[in-house]
Structures are given as structure tokens and as C-alpha cells.
Amino acid sequence: MANLASTWHQQGRSNEAELLKMQVLDLQKRVLGEEHPNTILAMENLAATYYTQQRYDDAEKLEVNVLNLRRKILGDKHPDTISARENLALTYEAHGRYDEAEELEPQP
């Protein structure tokens, strides 16, 4: 199901992809739990669809959750955590919230 949703997303069928990605996320939360890597990936994928649809508030909610979970499970320096931080920063920038985006920049 997740692969089909990704294909639809790439084809520009974001509304159909969104519905399927929501189903995938719901199923994975129930079966695998919220902290399972596949569930977190499903959250990230749905957030990407929301971002593409310019639904930045919806994307932000999921991206904050993804970032918090990845920090908790993987730590701040893991590539997946860094990617989640970058995604959230892009969403903040799309909102014009540049200060918040800058706060997510890695510290030297």
C-alpha cells in the first residue's frame, strides 16, 4: 500500500496518495506501534504529501512528531534525525517562519 501511495504521489495524484498514506499510517500505528521505524516513515511520507499540497500546518504537526521520535530513538546525530530536522526547517521556511527554521540548523 505504501509503495502505491508513493507512486501516486510521484504522479501528482496527491489526494489519492494522501488517503492511502493515512490508511497506512493508521494501520502501522495499530499493528507496529508509534515508535516503530516503519510507522515513523509512514508519518514522514504523509507529511511530504501535505507539504506538496501546501498544507504546511498539517505537515508541521507530523514533522514535529517525526523529529521528536527520531531524536528519542536514534539521537540527534543520526542521518534520519538530521533529515527530519531539515524537513521541518523547510516547512517553517514555507510558512515564512525563518527564525524557527534557523533554530533547527546544526550547531558547530
Task: For residue range 90-107, list pLDDT tens digits in order.
Answer: 999 999 999 999 998 876
pLDDT tens digit sequence for 61-79: 999 999 999 999 999 999 9
Q: Is 87 helix (H, G, I), strand (E, B) or coil?
A: helix
CA angle 63, 72, 82 (to 5 degrees): 55
Cα–Cα dist 71/26, whole Å: 22
CATH entry 1.20.950.20 includes domain 2-103: no
pTM of the model: 0.87
The three cell numbers of residue 79 are 542521518
Torsion angle, CA of 43/49/55/57, rounded to 10 degrees?
Answer: 20
